[in-house]
Amino acid sequence: MSGGGTPTLFDATKFEDGKAPDALRTIGEVASALGIRQHVLRYWEEQFPLLRPLKRSGGRRYYRPADVPLVETIDRLVHREGYTLRGARLVLEGRDATGEAGPAAPDAAGGPADASQDAPATMATDDNLVARMRAIRDRLAAALDA
C-alpha cells in the first residue's frame, strides 16, 4: 500500500483457497495469507475500533474482504513505519495526538510528529498518506454499514 496510487480494496491473489474474492475468510486464512499470527489479529480487534470482523456462534471470526486491507494497513503502520498502536489508530481515524483532525506522522517515539518541522516535499507526502487513509476509513465504514 505504500507508494503511489490508491490501494485496492481487496487483493484476492494473497489467498489461494479457491474462494470467490468477496467470500468471508476465517482468522486462520487471513493470518496465514498475511503472515500475521492469529493472537495478534485478535489483539488488534481490541485496539482498533475499525477492525470488527463478523463473529458467528462459538465466537468464530469471519473477515470481510474490506477487513483485509485494513489489517495490511495496521501491519504496515506498526511494523514497518514505526507507529505505536495508539498512533496507528489515530492515523486511521484521521486525527493527530491531541484528537484534532489533521495529518499525523510518526516521530522517534512512534507517535505523531509536528508536521511544521518537515520539508515541504515530506509534508505533501504526509498529506497524501492521510488522504489515502481517510479514503480507506470511509470505504470501510460504508462497507460495515451495508
Instruction: Look at residue 77 in the predicted model and tell me its pLDDT.
Output: 93
Q: Which residue has the higher pLDDT, 95 or 120?
A: 95
User: Up-side HSE of residue 100: CA atoms within 13 Å toward CB?
Assistant: 5
Cβ proximity of 65 and 21 under 8 Å: yes
| Lowest-confidence segment of 9-18, 27-36, 67-76, 84-93 by average pLDDT | 9-18
Name the amino acid, one letter, at 26: T
Name the amino acid, one letter, at 3: G
**Nearest alpha-carbon partner for 84 in 69, 114, 105:** 105
What rounded mean pLDDT belongs to the chain?
Answer: 76
**In CATH terms, is domain 14-145 a member of 3.40.50.300?**
no
pTM: 0.58
Cβ proximity of 47 and 33 under 8 Å: no
Whether pLDDT at 74 is above 90: yes
Name the amino acid, one letter, at 116: S
Cβ proximity of 137 and 89 under 8 Å: no
> How would DSSP label each residue in the chain?
--SSSPPPS--GGG--S---TTS-EEHHHHHHHHT--HHHHHHHHHH-TT---EE-GGG-EEE-TTHHHHHHHHHIIIIIS---HHHHHHHHHTB-TTS-BS---B-TTSSB--GGGS-HHHHHHHHHHHHHHHHHHHHHHHHHH-
As a whole number, mean pLDDT of residues 69-81 equals 92
Whether pLDDT at 83 is above 50: yes
pLDDT bin (cut points 50, 70, 90) of residue 54 is very high
pLDDT bin (cut points 50, 70, 90) of residue 96 is low
Domain ranges of the chain: 14-145
